[in-house]
Amino acid sequence: MFTPRLRRQSQADVHTQLILFSTIFLLFSVFIGAFITVHPLYLKQFLGKAELVGLIAALASLAGLVSSLPFGLLSDKIGRKRLLIVSFLIISMVLFAFFRNTSLYALIGLQIAFGISVAPVWVISEAFVKDISPIGRRGEYRSFYGTFANAGMFIGPLVGGLLAERFEIRTPYLFSALLLLGLVVLVFKLKDNNRDGIRNTESSGIGTDDLVAVLKEFRQQPELKVLALCTVSLFFWYSAKWVFGPLFLRSLGYSPFIIGLWLGISTVPFLLFQIPFGKLGDRMGKTKMICLGFSISTLFIIPLGFLNSLSGLLATIFIISLGTTFTEPLIEARVTDIVPREKYGAYSGIFELAKTSGFLIGPVSSSIFVYLFGISFSFIPAGIIFIVTLALFWYTQRCVCRLSVVS
């Protein structure tokens, strides 16, 4: 009988892998955050209008949308490590191409290439943490990883904003492309905890039957579906923040460094509270914490676009992010509670599909509101979808509780 590698490893080995993996994603997030901070401004140089920026930005999400689930299944079969190395190398090349590019048509291709190349990275990040998380500490482990990743997203915008202000707007792309190559060295030190027979790996390919089977299983579980909707909503908001936040602040006259500071502040609650909230979710119940997080964020998203003062903008984005700190890591931890271990990669692919759906819908919806009403209304669609999600999440949890009592 096969014994999973996680059981054969000592707790110290597992914790070492968690620290190493989290460090890799701290650095990866620094590099991604550095260029994403200026990416909307970069796109606007080619497109001219803010509403067009949202549409072109959505191309990366569309590419990720169609590739996330296949990459998740592939990582279950060939291992996380090899796929992560290839992805890092391709992303580095794409970022260098962004740095050199002067063509609008090439820009469209690069957006698609970036979406495809980054999709397996985020799928693997969630699947790897699921692989090594002990039962009863899943919220804590996901929050530990999330804290490191968000530390990178705090540092990255500050670095990107400073580089763009001191040099030029393309410099963060070169910075990220070169340093991402060095990160590959650390990936070689990782161990593939999903290998050695967790799944039948006689064939490393994936077929239509694999995709259909996983999707059919997913559709039969109401709680997983509402958790996927929660994920769509969260990343709908993140896309609005990252795409239209810089454009909104720029319209108010703030510099690239202040834009980077605002984006950096949005990650501070994750740095300060994510691990304590993860532990609290393991003890008190993940669903209660998710509901509380959505309630807090919903109250503050809608007025965000109508603020002018820097202090108000910083305080509001901090409170919104405090709510999402309750929510994001515990969604993934709850998914780990529900799905079988041998399908962690596949379900990480499904939830990455949910994330990229949010990233796709967010810029498009916000672009429509910007076109119709102006840049101040760019965050209104996120507020609406949060309200709908909160209502459906609460309703679904009541139904699940009733079924549990009956059974």
Predicted confidence (pLDDT) per residue in 52-87, tens digit: 887 788 788 788 877 777 787 787 777 788 889 999
Mean pLDDT of 382-398: 85
Please determine, for residue 199, whether its predicted confidence score (pLDDT) is greater than 50: no
Dist CA 227 CA 232 (whole Å): 9
Please determine, for residue 397, whether its predicted confidence score (pLDDT) is greater than 80: no
CATH architecture of 5-195+208-406: Up-down Bundle (1.20)
Mean of all residue pLDDT scores within the chain:
82
Sequence spans of domains, the chain: 5-195+208-406
In contact, 77 and 343? CB cutoff 8 Å: no
User: What pLDDT was estimated at residue 144?
Assistant: 85
CA 246-251-254 angle, 5° bins: 70
**Cα torsion angle, 241, 18, 131, 346, sign:** positive
Dist CA 57 CA 289 (whole Å): 31
Q: Counting beta carbons within 10 angstroms of the beta carbon of residue 67, is it exposed (0 to 12), middle (13 to 18) or buried (19 or more)?
A: buried
Q: Please report where in the chains the tokens 């060095």 appear, as a residue.
A: 182
Q: Helix or strand or coil: residue 135?
A: coil
Q: Helix or strand or coil: residue 221?
A: coil
User: What pLDDT was estimated at residue 173?
Assistant: 92
| Of 8-12, 150-154, 185-189, minimum mean pLDDT range | 8-12
Mean pLDDT of 186-206: 61
Q: Which of the two residues, 231 and 49, has the higher pLDDT score?
A: 231
311 phi/psi in degrees, rounded to 5: -65, -40
User: What pLDDT was estimated at residue 400?
Assistant: 52
For residue 215, the one-letter residue type is: L
**In the chain, % of residues over pLDDT 70:** 90
User: What pLDDT was estimated at residue 4?
Assistant: 47
User: What pLDDT was estimated at residue 99?
Assistant: 92
In contact, 334 and 288? CB cutoff 8 Å: no
pLDDT in tens, 120-131: 888 888 888 888
Please determine, for residue 297, whether its predicted confidence score (pLDDT) is greater than 90: yes
Dist CA 277 CA 249 (whole Å): 30
3-state SS of 169-193?
Answer: CCHHHHHHHHHHHHHHHHHCCCCCC
Mean pLDDT of 44-48: 84
Q: Of 91, 101, 84, nearest to 31 (Cα)?
A: 91
Distances (CA, A) of 23 to 146, 154, 227, 294, 395: 11, 14, 27, 28, 38
Radius of gyration of the chain (CA): 20
Helix axis angle, 286-301 to 310-338, nearest 10°: 150
Q: Which of the two residues, 89 and 328, has the higher pLDDT score?
A: 89
Q: How far is CA 375 from its chain centroid? A: 24
Q: How far is CA 242 from its chain centroid? A: 12
- Greatest Cα pair distance in the chain: 65
Q: Which of the two residues, 352 and 252, has the higher pLDDT score?
A: 252
Dist CA 220 CA 206 (whole Å): 22
User: What pLDDT was estimated at residue 53?
Assistant: 83
Mean pLDDT of 230-257: 89
**Residue 308, CA atoms < 13 Å, CB-side half-sphere:** 2
For residue 349, the one-letter residue type is: G
Mean pLDDT of 323-341: 84
Question: Tokens in use for 277?
Answer: 């909230």
In contact, 271 and 151? CB cutoff 8 Å: yes
